[in-house]
Structures are given as structure tokens and as C-alpha cells.
Amino acid sequence: MKYCNKDYSLYDFILNGIGNEEFVETFNGLMSVFLSNELKYPLLIAVYEWNARFSQTTSCKEVLKAFNDKMMTSGFWLYSISAAFNPVQGLRNVDASTILIKIPSYTEEEYDCIIECQQHFKRLPTAIDKEQIRYHSALIPRMILFWCIEWSSNLERPFEDVLKSFSNRAVNYYKGRIRRTLERASSLPENKTLIHQTAAFFYLNVPVTDLPELWEISGLFIEEKSEMDGGAYVYKCVCPSVGMAIVKYFQDSANPTINILIADPAINWRGLELLVSRYFRRGGISTVSLADKNLMGEKRQDEQLNISLSRSLEQTTPLINTPILPGTFLILRRGHAVIDFIAYSSENRGELFFIQISKSSYTAHESKVTDLKNKVQGGNKSVLEHYMGLCQTEDGKKRFPKVQAKDINNLSKKLPKGVYYVFITTSDSEIRSTNTNKNHPVILVQGDDVKSVMGSEWDLYKEKF
């Protein structure tokens, strides 16, 4: 096919395009060749990366004038394909329709072929662990591309080094998709709350059995059978980078979701959980300082209790059996007995904090510190004994002595040394001096003290509870 620019082949144009300032003119020239009377066959014209090729000041009219009446013997269809949800400006709504198509991930056979192809062209090393690539990529084409981008410049780079840079790239990409999905929810008033609540569920480790359409077409989640949830089918992050992106998004941009959840009285306690969890999961090394107050609101000591953390983990199995190291914040699966979170502080060789959050007072709340005697789900030990047994020191030794029968029998009076039960509540109800629970060994976080577990954001939201 003839093309007027002798210094720039049609192949080069299709493969790479040219500078944006010349693109419209070249595009129109190319179309005049395609749509000339010499062309006798049906033609599909697809413009890839429209937003990247045409500046935002370029209207569709300028680009599409190539399709003028003199060159056309019949009408034509224009397809605008986007994974970024950004509509092309200039199209009249009356002429436009939207078809949502979920592009599937690779099959196992396709995945193997793609990996071999990338190895042949020296974009991936010949000796790689395909299972690790599959685990971190979830057979998603874009994620395979990210591996190639990170590895192709130096095939000798160690896997762990490439994994770190790959994860950063993937997390940034998925964080952007999460943000755009939640932004789209603002135009769906009937589903906005549900869409934001679903995002919070994934952050708070709450099982999701029904996925709003906007999240389903995002491609971020996959439905699988979950032994942790009694064999029910629940939605999970499609790959580890999605989970990390959710955490990163809520570290940086949680306020829109918090505002929406708190505005709904039926679920504003979810906003409370989100505020607390977010403060404990700030990233890096952080410390939460608590006033040591009993259920009467009286200080046991002037010295504060410090919870120093450096990592957060989510419960992903019915029974946690892996050691817990100092500095760990553990987000338990919704429905876990007695407690919502566990914080194993790095202070004093390791101090264990069982944490419960509620809008109710301690007296009205269903579970109490004494319920730490209950058996942990899927195990034969009490909640207290199970988690104390998992705690280790930095050098890998058991942190606490074996729990004795007297420890269980004395739960209404005291906890083993280095173990605490924290009850966080927005209720202003005070426990009466005649209440039989008043001497329970609980650290009460109430009133102005709630700021210690939420930070300055408590000042913004405390009137909402």
C-alpha cells in the first residue's frame, strides 16, 4: 500500500506512531489511503492508546474528519476500547453505547507458551520458577508484561530483587484501578455505599460472598471455595499485589470510604473498625500508646502502655499455626471468637494485646475478657493458650510460659504477665460500681482516649458516633 511519507514506513507508524503534535495530520493521511477507491475489502480500524496518542485538546471531530462523505460509501462503527474507564470526549451520548467485556486471564497452556516466548526473546531468564511467576501474576497478561519490563534489562538479577520492583509496579497499577472504581461509584448513588463497603471488607478481612458489578468487571477478585469460611464460595484478591494495593489505598486515601460508611447509621460501626485498623496499619514502624485505665475509667498507673508494630498480617487459614513475631498486627477473619485484632508489640521482648472494638459498652457487649477461655476455631486450645503459644521472641524462642488451669480460672481477675485485653468503644456508658464485671482485667479505651487508637482523625468523626 502506498504511503506519502517515504522516510517513515506504514509499519513504523502502526508500531510506534509519531509525536503527538503530528499524529492527527498523519492519521488523516493514512486514513485517506485506507479509504481510497482502491480498497475493495471491509476494514477495521482500531486506535490503541487513544488518550496517549491524541492530546486532550484534540476533539474527535478533528480526528474523524478523515471519514468524510466523499470517501465513504456506507456508514461505519467507531469502537473506543478502554481499561481505564476514561470516556473519549466529543462523542454524543445519543450515538454511543457501552458494552462491558471481561477479558479472561491466560489459560495454563497459553501461560506456558507466553513464558517460553518471552524467554526466547530474552525478556525473561531461562531458569525461572514458573509457579512463583504464576502465583504473583495470576495468569494476567499485564502482570506477565510487568515481569518482562523488570527483568529484560538484566536477566541475571535475582528473583527476590525483581519481585520487589515488580510488586511496586503492580501495586501502583492496582491501586489506581481501586481508586478509579471507587470514583466511578460516585455516579451510582444506589450502589455507592455497597461498593465502598465491599472495598472495606477486603481491607478488614471480612468474607465477601456477593460482589457488586463494578468490582466484578474490575478483574481484581476471583471466586473460590474457602475452607476458612466453612466451605462457602467467597471472593479473594486475584493475586498478592491486589491485597497489597488495597492496604496501600486505605493507608493513603481512606477518607471517602470512611465518610460514606459513617454516614449510614446501619453500618457506621464498619467505619469505626476501619479507622482503628488503619491507625494500627500505618506502615513502617509505628507505636500506639494507651492509657492503662480500668473499666471504671481509673488509671492503674501513670505510665502508658506502648504497642510498637512494624508489620500487618491477615488470617488466611481456619487455624493460625505459624509463629507470631514481635511487631505483628494480626487482622483476624470476621467471626473469630472474642476478639477482632491481635497486636504483638515488640516492647519488653514482646507483649500480647487482644483487641475488641464495639459501639456498645463493655457490659452490653456479647463477649468479655473471660471468653478468652473459649476454644479457638478449629483447635483444641483456648484462645488465650493458642495465641500465647504462637508468640516468639526475636531469637525464635517461646515468649510465654505454658498456660495453666489457674490462668484460665483467674481470667475475671487478671491476665498472665505481658498479656492485655483492650476494649475500644464509642459508648459513653459508665460501668456501675455494683457491676460484677467492674474488676475484669480490661484496658478501657473510651471518650477522649479513643484518639490514641485513631489519631487526629478521631476529632473529625467523633460526633458521628
Count of C-beta atoms within a 10 Å radius of residue 422: 22
Task: Provide the Cα torsion 339, 171, 238, 231; round to 10°.
Answer: -10
Instruction: Provide the whole-model pTM.
Output: 0.81
Please give the backbone phi and psi of residue 440, each rounded to the nearest 5 degrees, phi first. Answer: -60, 140
Please count the other Cβ atoms lying within 10 Å of the Cβ belonging to residue 408. 14
pLDDT one digit per residue (tens) for the chain, 465 residues: 444 555 545 545 544 544 445 666 666 666 666 666 555 666 676 666 666 666 656 556 666 665 654 445 555 566 666 655 455 455 555 455 555 666 778 999 999 999 999 999 999 999 999 999 999 999 999 999 999 999 999 999 999 999 999 999 999 999 999 999 999 998 888 899 999 999 999 999 999 999 999 999 888 999 999 998 989 999 999 999 999 999 999 999 889 999 999 999 889 899 999 999 999 999 889 999 999 999 999 999 999 999 999 999 999 999 999 999 999 999 999 888 899 999 999 999 999 999 999 999 999 999 999 999 999 988 999 999 999 999 999 999 999 999 999 999 999 999 999 999 999 999 999 898 899 999 999 999 999 999 999 999 999 998 888
- The residue count for the chain: 465
Rounded CA separation 186/259 (Å)? 13
Sole residue written with cell 480498497: 39
What are the boundaries of each domain within the chain?
10-95, 158-283, 284-464
Tell me the three state secondary structure of residue 46: coil
C-alpha 6/C-alpha 33 separation (Å) is: 14
* Residues 262 and 367 sit within 8 Å (Cβ to Cβ): no
H or E segment to which residue 331 belongs:
strand 328-331
How many angstroms separate the CA atoms of 344 and 329, rounded? 6
